[in-house]
Amino acid sequence: MTPIDLTAPRVRLDAVDIRRVPMLGIAVGIAVAATTLSIIERDGATPWLTGVMVGVMWIAVGLAVVSVMPFANALVLREDGFRVRVMGVLGGFVPWSKVASVEAGEGWAGATVAVHLVEGADIGLIPGLPRDPTLGIHTFTDSYGLAPEELAQAMERRRRAAAHP
């Protein structure tokens, strides 16, 4: 693995979290079962409904595949903030001006990076950076190839640099 230069103006970190892999297995299993049942059970009254259900199951497989691809899930650290991307198209940008602090913490899914927002700041709903119900703050759902402590320190350095240019 190539070392990551966390001091570069723009740093892209692909997700390496494997928590979504079981979703892929479950989706494939359900789609294969639905396809097999549609072949075995040929009910003359509702073949279109069976076809629709099988199609929906295979669409779910496609979404599950996209959700586990590292290139589709990434964190980009910039000088003015950070961008979280999930499933290739979902996510959002958070400017450093809305971040009060960044630290490593223990969330509902294990060790993670916690992002404390400035009081009154609203970042909206950002997939990949939900509000953790245990901590009551925003935390990453993925890991990005770094220990939570290392990533939190790199983000905190950028936040401080943006606050005091």
The DSSP annotation for 152-163 comes to HHHHHHHHHHHH
Q: Which residues contact 164 (CB under 8 A, 6 or more apart)?
A: none
pTM of the model: 0.70
For residue 41, pLDDT beyond 80: no
Tell the residue number behind the tokens 């950070």, with chain if given: 82
Spatial contact of 156 and 6, defined as CB atoms under 8 Å apart: no
116-165 pLDDT tens trace: 888 887 777 777 778 877 667 888 877 888 888 999 999 999 999 988 76
73-117 pLDDT tens trace: 888 999 999 998 887 677 889 999 999 999 998 766 677 888 888
**pLDDT (0 to 100) of residue 95:** 92
Q: What angle do CA 57, 60, 65 make, to 5 degrees?
A: 130
**pLDDT (0 to 100) of residue 59:** 85
Q: Round to whole Å and give the CA distance between 82 and 90.
A: 14
65, burial (CB in 10 Å: exposed 0-12, middle 13-18, buried 19+): middle
Q: Round to whole Å and give the CA distance between 26 and 108.
A: 22
For residue 44, pLDDT beyond 70: no
**pLDDT (0 to 100) of residue 157:** 93
Q: Round to whole Å and give the CA distance between 47 and 41.
A: 9
82: helix, strand or coil: strand
